[in-house]
Structure 1
Amino acid sequence: MNVKINRKLCVIVVLGASVTCTAAIANKPEPVHYENLKVLPRDISSHDLQSIMADDFEDGLGVTCGFCHANAKDGHGLDFVSDAKPEKEITRQMMRMTIGINKKYFKLKHPGIGNQALVVSCITCHKGQPFPDAATGNN
């Protein structure tokens, strides 16, 4: 009798675990793939993207989204995919530069934008302003 109960218990546990695993896999949200990301990973999470935009760009440069992103053609909101504004490409160049500086001079293995370990970031030079004062080093 003990053997029958153990077999039944084993079958129930295995079936329960299978159903739980299947449900967990089925409920996993599909990763978001953003269009036209050239420096940041295309599969970046919405949370990480928002953090980078708020912490690195809004705080570091004292700007809002419209500084780099063009207005939508229909006049409602912004067109985040568009490259119409030159500031967007300049930002990409600055991100690559920042990554390069952190990798070369501070030996960071994964100096991605938004990484808290970055020694040099937007705010290092910009100090909360859209344009750093390169001539005097003051903002």
Structure 2
Amino acid sequence: MYQLHKKKLLAGISLIFILMIGVAATTVQDKKPKPNLKVLPKDISHEELEKIMKGFNVSLGVKCNHCHAPSKTDAKKLDFSSDDKPEKNVARDMMRMTAKINKKYFDYGGGEGHAAALSCITCHNGKTHPESKITLPPPPPER
């Protein structure tokens, strides 16, 4: 009789152990890497971050791979947290510059009575490198 209870106990423990392994194996792990944010707020929502990135796409006429390096594990995907491409740091510098200009010269607070803020499209106009729109008058004739 003792032997029978021992076998049932062992079978029950084995079943519980197998179930625990099964649950652990099927639990979805969050494999999305955290964004590597150095200029944007760390608590920015995914939707707001996507909106800003799509703004870069339009403003510079580029796709995501302009600043984001390919994944080392899957060449068809991008590694959004990687800093391997220098263009990503250029973008960060440009964001800092634009914020500084807006704060210093435009008192940008939004709404009525405030000047419109500068953004990427102000200078880039859909091109990766901004082009000057200023046309200088011709030099005076020589005498």
Q: Same fold (TM over 0.5)?
A: yes
Could you tell me how far apart the structure 1 residues matched to 2:134 and 2:60 are? 15
Could you tell me how far apart the structure 1 residues matched to 2:54 and 2:79 are? 18
Pairs within 5 Å for 1:111-130: 119-130=117-128
Give the equivalent residue in structure 2 for 1:83: 83
Give the share of equivalent positions with the same residue, in percent: 52
**Structure 2 stretches lacking a partner, 5+ long:** 1-32, 136-143
Say what the alpha-carbon RMSD is for the aligned residues.
2.4
Deviations 1:3-22 (A, max 9, x none): xxxxxxxxxxxxxxxxxxxx
Could you tell me how far apart the structure 1 residues matched to 2:94 and 2:46 are? 22
**Structure 1 stretches lacking a partner, 5+ long:** 1-32, 111-116
The ranges of structure 1 where at least 4 consecutive aligned residues each deviate by more than 2 angstroms after the TM superposition are none
Contact 1:34 1:43 in 2 (8 A): no
Could you tell me how far apart the structure 1 residues matched to 2:123 and 2:98 are? 11
Per the normalisation by structure 2, the TM-score is 0.62
Contact 1:34 1:42 in 2 (8 A): no
Give the equivalent residue in structure 2 for 1:59: 58
Pairs within 5 Å for 1:70-109: 70-74=69-73, 75-109=75-109
- In structure 1, what residue type is equivalent to 2:128? P
Could you tell me how far apart the structure 2 residues matched to 1:35 and 1:42 are? 8
Decide which of 130, 133, 137 is 1:132's aligned counterpart: 130
- In structure 2, what residue type is equivalent to 1:70? A
Per the normalisation by structure 1, the TM-score is 0.64
1:42 Cα offset (Å): 1.3
Deviations 1:17-45 (A, max 9, x none): xxxxxxxxxxxxxxxx9432000011111
Pairs within 5 Å for 1:20-31: none
Could you tell me how far apart the structure 2 residues matched to 1:79 and 1:118 are? 34
Give the equivalent residue in structure 2 for 1:4: none
1:76 Cα offset (Å): 3.1
